[in-house]
Structure 1
């Protein structure tokens, strides 16, 4: 039994939404290696700056004690509160084509009710395609093109993306449940997971965001901005390369990943990217060497956000 989903959100009727738009969605809280999905969502929000057309009741959906919002204390008083938002924005691409972006924290409760509420919005706006996106850690080197795992409610939406495995049971997410429920209701949904080198999974890795943007553009026909993400990716890649050059141990492990990747590419292998005839370097082998790099990156992100 699901209570009235319409009580879970408000729609701004003063902002017209063009029927047949694409809906992009990403929720913070589930697996997102390299903050790939978050990077895309933040980038589009900042670069295109559109109005909020729907807002969800986060007080009913979020467990504040498990994810405490940030408050600012100034000397002798509480000065600010960063209230969480779960909203749909109306944005326009380079051709002024409208599309929708649903972002915010992943709901902690009332998943079915939330999913039904989103389906009502999809049907209200006659959304033609919904797209979700995030990053997953993989045993791949940062020196090779990043792969993408694609999944969809119809096989032809996936196209020629390589299938890495046939069946697996993994912890659920609202993004995955939304894709499942929308598909069963007859709506088209496609999802993309960028393959992020496992040794960079905890860092902000803009190259993974660029990879996701490319997949989103090809699936939707939208023309999305990339300049800011591309510049950030160049800076991070330069710093990662420096760290690799300065450590023979890291260079050796990255070299092993490169040989493994190239062997499968040359053989045009289907299935896992992990070679069975080569020893797989573990994340622990790289962690100690990259600790300094990750700390530096986090420090820079904190400075940029302050």
Structure 2
């Protein structure tokens, strides 16, 4: 048995997927695998919330592959939660990295690989995912992620598309030239899948960095809108859009009562708009001739903001009850 075989257990009998990846009776039996790894590439929990929304829409989904998390997870760096009830421990939330079989709103089956990003053995993880891709006849892998950026929440959610073949791109990248960035398991997997002849693409949402620690469903909605295009799927976004609207109301309520925070957001709006006016000259999403509030300034201004939205005494809590 190979090391990759020990790293992932794949269900033997999945008749719903037996014909996918082939052309039968002239019909395209394409199959999408959506990839969401929690951790590094998930500012605002945008990708994780998007994945949970997909799972919620398929209550009868089942797990068709399971990864050996003990081989991949650093428990001391990311300690799972558990409960202590008076005099004993219980309710251990064991991390799980699984592949689920879901169906979109049109009844089309697809796969979702989600769970914590592996902390180690990335190459072995990539080879294990390759086994899943080839076993089920996956024709495209679409990854979702999000990063914090110095952008205001009052402007459209920017998305960076990427792919291991240019023909797979569904939108133009906002970046010019080469950027050196920290790697991720998702990024490495896209590279390796391309080397093995498998299509992989993805989308990264730009999250206002002052909201990066807050669940931001508006960005989750934007990611799923792009998934519909790149993954050839249809997704009911009505519930997620309502959730996003509620969060925007909370943010607006706070800004209306805090002039200092509003000033910081206004500065970001000026930068964003200046960049839009001179887009052809920049390799950054920030205008070059506008002062940028420091990270410390942003953090100080929004410390109360984040606590107010997520705390038990948040403004508007009674209104939502």
After TM superposition, the score normalised by the length of structure 2 is 0.88
- 2:193 corresponds to which residue? 182
SS of equivalent residue, structure 1 residue 223: coil
In structure 1, stretches of 5+ residues that fail to align are none
- 1:23 corresponds to which residue? 33
SS of equivalent residue, structure 2 residue 311: helix
1:94-243 matches, cutoff 5 A: 94-243=105-254
- 1:285 corresponds to which residue? 297
- 1:6 corresponds to which residue? 5
Aligned 8 A contact 1:36 1:204 in 2: yes
**1:262, 1:63 → 2: CA distance?**
42
- 2:261 corresponds to which residue? 250
Aligned 8 A contact 1:39 1:209 in 2: yes
**2:120, 2:173 → 1: CA distance?**
34
Aligned 8 A contact 1:53 1:89 in 2: yes
**1:116, 1:260 → 2: CA distance?**
43
Aligned 8 A contact 1:133 1:192 in 2: yes
- 2:26 corresponds to which residue? none
Find the partner of 2:307 among 260, 283, 295. Answer: 295
Find the partner of 1:37 among 41, 47, 53. Answer: 47
- 2:24 corresponds to which residue? none
**2:152, 2:262 → 1: CA distance?**
11
Aligned 8 A contact 1:204 1:297 in 2: no
Residues 89-132 of structure 1 show CA distances to partners (whole Å, capped at 9, x for unaligned) of 00000100011000111112221111101011111111111011
Residues 204-255 of structure 1 show CA distances to partners (whole Å, capped at 9, x for unaligned) of 1111111111111111221112122212211111111122211222222212
Aligned 8 A contact 2:102 2:110 in 1: yes
* 2:46 pairs with 1:47: no
CA RMSD of aligned residues (A): 1.9
SS of equivalent residue, structure 1 residue 81: coil
Aligned residues: 300
**1:78, 1:250 → 2: CA distance?**
42
Aligned 8 A contact 1:247 1:289 in 2: no
Aligned 8 A contact 1:17 1:125 in 2: no
**1:27, 1:263 → 2: CA distance?**
34
Aligned 8 A contact 2:170 2:229 in 1: no
**2:173, 2:185 → 1: CA distance?**
24
